[in-house]
Structure 1
Amino acid sequence: MPRRESPLPEGDGPVVRFAAGLRELRRAAGGPSYYELAARAHYSVATLSSAAAGRRLPSLEVTRGYVLACGGDVRRWEALWHTTAADLAAAARSTAHTPAPPADPVDSPYPGLASFGSGQSRFFFGRERVIEQLRGRLTQQRFIALFGASGAGKSSVLHAGLSPSLRGEGRIVLTLTPGARPLEELAVHLAAPASSTPGRLLEELRAHPGNLHLLLRQIATAQTGPAEVVLVVDQFEELFTLCTRPEERNHFIDALLAATRAHNSACRVVLGVRADFYAPCIAHAELARALDAAMVTLGAMDGEELHRAICRPAQAVGCRVEGRLLAYLIAQVQGSAGMLPLLSHALRETWRRRRGTVLTMEACRSAGCIEHALTHTAERFYQALSARQQDAARHLFLRLVAVGEDVKDTKRRITGSELSCDPDTAAVLERAAAARLITVDGRHVELTHEALITGWPRLGGWLEEDREVLRTRRQLTEAAATWAHLEQDPGALLRGTRLRAARPLAHAKDAGLTAREQAYLQASLAAHHAEAAAATRRRRVRRLLTAASAVLMVISLTACVLAVRAGRQVAAQRDEAVARNASTQATGLWHRSPGLAAQLALAAYRLRPGRHSRNALLSTLMSTWQAHRAEMYALATPPTPPAGPGGAGGPGGAGGPGGSILATAGRDRTVRLWDIHAARHPRQTAVLSGHRNAVYALAWRPHSPVLASAGADRAIILWDTTDPHHPRRLATLHPHTHTIRALAFSPSGQSLVSAGSDGDVVLWNTRSVTHPAPGARLPGHHDEVRSVAFSPDGRLLASAGGGDQRVILWDTTSPTHPIRRADWHPHTTTALSVAFSPRGALLATSGGGDRPVKLWRLTQPRHPVLLTALDGPTDVVGDVHFSPDARLLAAASDDRTARIWQVTSPRRPQEQLLLTGFTTAVLALRFTPDGQQLITGVFDGTTHTLPTHPDRLLPRACAHT
């Protein structure tokens, strides 16, 4: 039994009479169901049923299909269709200048996410200046383009502002959006004014772009008196997001330009273009020339314009906006061109919750304010659906989004043929339209506004989850439409890569495919299986033929295997050489172009992962900043806090600076403090400028915010860095007669040792950091002392003499009477640095010679035992430092490298990392207190940081490049 149709609309208009005739024709044919008519006419059930619904005149092609399916007289119905279309055109012309009746006062004067239409012009305020600018430009030019961000209100300006104004001047205004078939849209919108059929006009437009000029002249001359046609093309960016045929896109643009450039042109063209599609527009050479003098920019509204846009629509229906709400809305929206849809939506929701005739701040808050009103509306709509309807809603909204690759996601207009015919989809469609989330325009469905894409987190999450699937499904939709248009031609089926990409959709339980798409995919898979079966048969025949030459094939395969093996070896050697060469070039390039160097090193590492390419890549991934504009001599990080409670608070007690503070010093006479909490983006917090000459030494007092600095002015200054942004000087000491080159606090913080070019090592009592007391002087060195260090328990003090090549070990159990325990020459040329391991009696020394880094066991302090001499550096090593967990040892060398060894087993250290690419000598390095970063200071004033866990950094190398 055929389903019962809904009653025709009231009235006796030409469309209603035409629909009544179609229904009578169906009854005369025996009342076939619409499913039967769809099978005969090759149109969807929804298309055929809407043709006889009486709400709008169906297209001539749909009418022909309906009549043929019912066995009617096609010629008679074609004539009747043309008569009805002419009656509609005459009625439209007669009512073009008739003012619209006043709006029902209960209707909202705010359209929400939808743009203002021509019937809402009396509620459209705030863009008067732009409208006047457009009108002025149109009097001088025949081609203009309105550019604005998504959500800036371009459609509202064109439809509710410019178009009514032009119609009031007696001009003929035709508006359209390009869609996926721009020439078809042009033909459909010109058919009624030109008293022709869309099919005929489409053929003319495709024949030559200049025919658009003739059609528009025909429409203009049909009017009484001089007239012009203003063609408004809104959402011009759909040419690039929905139209997939470049030839049709270019044909459409050429037609518009030709119509405005003709010497006897009777039209003017206004484009509405999203600002981020300027680049695709100027890719068309002729359009780029036309846009040179045709652009009008739609920016953000100022405060006065926003005031009018918010208040005047309410005043038009006898209401007003509360002052607090007005101030809040203007503050939220001013300066942002893309928030107008969210503003309109929030006002519409506030209107629904208004108190009498006043739109209040409380009503706006209950709607979710401007930030959440859209989300609240969309979520309320979604949560009110059943589980099956929610699935249908997800598929529906994903179909209404064109997923961008190099551009942002945009909304997409679809026809009813893309939608499933199930009741759940129909219910979702009806509810979404009632909530103003989508717009249903005859056979077309689209999102009300693109603000929904970014303003509804759930939709954004769907898009991120299914982005690749959406692209595949979109390609499947377009291919299925082409297949149906070609009457299911087997040559249009999916094959190869496209079929492999679409195959998962055939087995997915909830792929959201329409019946046509499922039929197309199944037909493609069946064809693939048939081709695979044929290929299998061919392979069997080939195997039978191959059996006769098996011996020859075995010989050939053996030769091939040997050749392939040799080729692989050659390729591996080639890759190794190329990767090594590229890695070397990358480190050499790093200081001039870090980004390019990182990319080159990453390419080398991917080509041939190995120790050399890994070191080069990590060298280019170091974070770098200019700490000093002169040579940098020292850096210091706060020592690792010990287990257990510390001493008293204040500058002299516990609670030292956080582990994210770094101190650097250099020839510019300053000490600089840096916040390295974000290692890739350090921030300078303070510059300490108390020294009168270069600063060579820095030391943090354990468990305390006290920093000691010393240098060529022979002064030691103690600083309180409790507030790293405003340090203050605590004390100034003058213990030496020459440059001070080394400082170190004892682990307890109660002793400070200084040493310098005069060869003296001086102990200070720093229980009071504001009045340190001088202690014992430790004789023994005959030349400058370059480094001093305390053991973890504070009992031993080591000093390294750069000139006399000696390391002296002192027992400082009694700070007033130190005892010399050992005195030896660890290196052949010079001794520059000493460092104790945080765990155990292990001492690292560095200097010059063939093996400039050595590890010593100090179980018996009087007899240091050499455990190992580390290979690698080719020049003197000026600084060594252990990581807080004692697992790693880092060394800074004058050969412009920094190395890290794993010293878990001190007798068998293993080199873990070699950092290269520095332009000058690496003078100092330190691990951060948490051991997660290595910081290097270079002679050229730059500082570099690198995580000590490269395995965590390498997988994210792309992000660093």
Structure 2
Amino acid sequence: MPRGERPLGPEDTALLRFAGDLRRLRDQAGKPSYRELAVRANYSPTALSDAAGGRKLPSLALTLAFVRACDPAADTAPWTKRWRELAAEHTQQLLPNAPYPGAEPYTETGAKHFFGRERLVGQVLDSVRTRPLTVLLGASGSGRTSLLRAGLLPALDDAVLVTPGDTDPLADLAEALAGVFPGTTAASLAEELRADPDRLRLLVRRHRPGLVLLVDDAEKTLGADDFLAAVTRCPHVVLAVRADHRRRCLDRGLAGAEITVEPMTADQLRRAISEPAAKVGATVETAVITQLVADAANRHALALVQRTLLETWRRKRGMTLSLSGFEETGGIGQVAVHAAEAFYDGLGETARRSVRGVFLRLVSVRRNGTTQRRTRVLDTEPRLLEQLAKARLVTLTDDGAELVHDALLGWPRLAGWIDEERETLGTHQQLVTAMELWEASDRDPLALYRGARLRRARELGEFLTVQERQFVDLSTRRETRRFTAFVAAVAVLIALVPGTVVYALSNERKLTEAHGRELGGKALSESEELIEQRRPYADKYALVGYKVNPSPEAEKVLRLANAVTRGIPFTGTPKDDADVVVAPRGDVAAVTDADGTDRMWSLDEDSATSGARFADGHRVVKLAERRAITRDQTGREHLWAVNAANDVTRLAALPDRFRTLDLSADGSRVVGKVGDADGLGLPTPDETAHAELFDLTDPRSLRELPMPVRDPEAVALSQDGRELATAVWDAAAGATTVEFWSIGGTAEPAAPALRQPVYVRGITYSGDGRWLAVEHSPESVVEVWQRVPSGAPVLRARLDSALRYGAGISFSDDDRIAIVRDNIFEVQQLYTNDRAPDRLVYVVGHGNSTRAIFRAQHGDFLVRSGGRNPELLPYDLDSGHIIKRMCEKDGARLTDSEWVKSFGEVERVEVC
């Protein structure tokens, strides 16, 4: 007989109340045994019993598994929120040997934990040896202070760190140098320097000729002439200046060697995460490193990384920073949201209104309703921007201000503000686009605002920046002049020819419209003929047609003509119908040479450069970030490092008879089948066939991970490889079960399963994990599901096609899905509500069974051209972006002879 549950006693602590509520949830579920709950939750009965025992706080994953086991339909968000509040009370106090500084910069005593900036430190040291003045520029939060204190100060034989304030920088300089020179005090040195700034140079030359002055926050001294005169005359000086003050530095004549503190690369960030822990005998789980690198590499987010690491350190298991501890912190997203809320709570009502305005100005809403960060030069109170930068919520760069991380878009308060001002933000985004086109057209007055758009722009009021306000003012003045001239002309006409003016104006408008349709139709016909013949200038004619008679058809021709004109050929690859495999970011591709061996190519905006070949006979099966999997002529698969198109290295052979099914986009994990009879061409099915999953973090020593399903029909890995989707076919029931697994040391359910009354051929994750595409067979219907955190996926779209052919599916980063079926390429806009998707593109004759790849850096899709040619077409859906690029490159205007040849003596249409 099982032993009864230990009574909790009085629930006089938060932990006991939490345990008591878990027990009550179990009671409401009919009080199933812990053995029965264990089957539902995939945790042991002991773990579940301990979770409700009230002696220690269970992990977040265990808590949510307990809740879902008791009530599969339960809303886990309140439990998550409550768990995080309780976890904050029960985390370990910081120990003296914590290797991460959190919100504070590294100091000289923490230099042993300072990693990732070794190359930059060496660069600055070289500059100090050869140049008297080095200006170290970096965005707010880029780590300038840590670099000075923990990187340069320990590396220099003789250096002094000066941190001037806002009030009296010269006094701060004297304070830092007090006692450095014999017989000097802070007061006496300050007095001497005020009288003669050159006095410092003489003291250094006489007593400490090798002294290096490291000046932090040097932007605070740009208005202090005496400070700058004293410091810049010294033989070795490093001024650390925030990037948004670069212009002021140049205006002050501080033209020393300029070194920029760039965001950390992925490799640098890995060192900054793992090495400090190793110094104190701790380890960081690979999954934690992978997630942080994905969230912060090449971004100004070091402060968020350090805060997240510190919180993870407080939750470490022994001396391991585990994935569970990291997930308990909520990752960078939760840390950023917590920092924003804490900062906001400390403000007064007036300051809160100002902060709301700043945050709204730093986001934009696209036409499809998605929100993203944007960089703007704000004419806001400088002190407020300083506070936001100090709180590491806003990054100040040479280009302006921006939110420090995409995670802040998930701050509930900001999300509420965006919903309230969505119409205003949409109007503002249209204004920004109009300004860009105006600038691209050399400020053509015809590109200024007028009519209803101008009225809406004027209503934005204080939401506008100085430059935007100037654009609106210019538009207003031009509109006023046009209206005045129009009224005067009408008055004259009415006086001379009463009763005929309305007819004349109406007739002129009809003639103009007819002329536009005729000219536009001729231009589009010319463009389509050039597209078919693959001759140049198709985009120029399409632009004329679009400009004189804008229509959906004209926009369609413009997009296609632009894609064909910018086609990326693979020169020197004569093999017809060559395989083309493009990396997830669209920066490199593998293309088959004439002898059947694949070669890497580097892809630019609209060109390709030949790179290295793989081993003879090797064909690329999957291509990811810095990783490739090839199959040789015997069927054996191999793992390769692809550091660049011209730098490929074979790392290891994958297990015998292993057939890759999916490779995560970041190259960290691969899943495949071993012993697949069909794939290996065996005469009879192999009943020993099974799936295997490997961690590729250490590629020379593959680590097998638990595979939750033995023999799935289809699988897919999320971009970071941390989630696996599997599809298992039940022939008797005629249905497929799609399950989602969180992959780490164990495989645990990540979301409720999907039951599909069809055979599932393929599964595809979106890059951000918000969408999941499930392809049915044999009809090739694609269902698109919205992923809901810790909840069941929601069906948002069912995309059918007359062509029953396997679909190549990919997603953009703004809720668009691209599908290629044989030679049909289509793009649909998805919505997170009941609205049906909008078809944005449907092109026949392009695709050729190759998956389209979205290139965020260029804002277009790469799709295979029609026929057997391996050429790729960069397909841009934004006509405004196409026109801007054509005008910027001076590639939009037909020559006079081309115009006359096509359109005779018709007055030229200016397209830019």
Same fold (TM over 0.5): no
Taking structure 2 as the reference length, the TM-score comes to: 0.35
Larger radius of gyration: 1
